[in-house]
């Protein structure tokens, strides 16, 4: 993994932040490693660990809402799914993330 050291640092940085919000890293280790590496690449190339699963608009106001962990900006949506959009984080009590589908906010009647 090319960005292994930074991925590990992001993991340590994020764990307490999402823990305070009632989330934890997905138990799907392979997915977590993949997403963290993508974030390390985005941080290096774009200046911040942007979400690998959401589109940047290049409007700062919007793009700051998709810097990981973006949970505070999308709380109602993510709480309804019990996972974040990428699935990097899940609610603390989740043991099988495969049971949690990715559902658009609009389908849940939530403003994303
Ligand atoms: S959806 Fe998940 S992985 Fe993507 S930025 Fe938000 S918290 Fe991070």
How confident is the model over 51-61, as pLDDT tens digits? 999 999 999 99
CA 105 – CA 112 distance, rounded (Å): 5
CB atoms within 10 A of CB 26: 21
Strand partners, 67: 50
Token pair 């559902």 is found at 103
Q: 34: domain range?
A: 4-108
Question: Residue 10: CB within 6 Å of ligand 1?
Answer: no
pTM, two decimals, is: 0.95
Q: What is the pLDDT of residues 82-110, one digit of tens each?
A: 999 999 999 999 999 999 999 999 999 99
Q: For all residues of the chain together, what is the average pLDDT? A: 96
Q: Please report, for the domain that includes residue 28, its CATH number.
A: 3.90.460.10
Residue 111 predicted with pLDDT over 90? no
Q: What is the pLDDT of residues 34-48, one digit of tens each?
A: 999 999 999 999 999
In the three-class reduction of DSSP (H, G, I as helix; E, B as strand; rest coil), residue 85 is classed as coil
pLDDT, residue 1, reads: 59
Residue nearest to atom 6 of ligand 1 (CA): 70
Domain count for the chain, please give it.
Answer: 1
**For residues 17-42, average pLDDT:** 97
Nearest CA-CA partner of 47 in 69, 72, 71, 64: 64
C-alpha dihedral sign at 78, 79, 80, 84? positive
Cβ 85 vs Cβ 55: under 8 Å: no
Question: Residue 53: CB within 6 Å of ligand 1?
Answer: yes
Cβ 12 vs Cβ 49: under 8 Å: no
Question: Which of 11, 50, 68 most suits a substitution to test ligand 1, by most atoms within 8 Å of the C-beta?
Answer: 68
């Amino acid at each position: 993994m090319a960005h292994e050291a930074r991925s590990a640092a992001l993991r340590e940085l994020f764990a307490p932040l999402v823990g305070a919000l009632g989330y934890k890293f997905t138990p799907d280790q392979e997915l977590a490693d993949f997403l963290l590496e993508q974030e390390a690449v985005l941080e290096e190339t774009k200046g911040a660990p942007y979400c690998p699963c959401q589109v940047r608009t290049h409007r700062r106001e919007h793009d700051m809402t998709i810097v990981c962990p973006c949970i505070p900006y999308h709380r109602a949506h993510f709480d309804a799914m019990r996972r974040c959009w990428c699935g990097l984080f899940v609610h603390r009590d989740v043991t099988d993330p495969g049971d949690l589908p990715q559902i658009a906010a609009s389908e849940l009647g939530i403003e994303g």
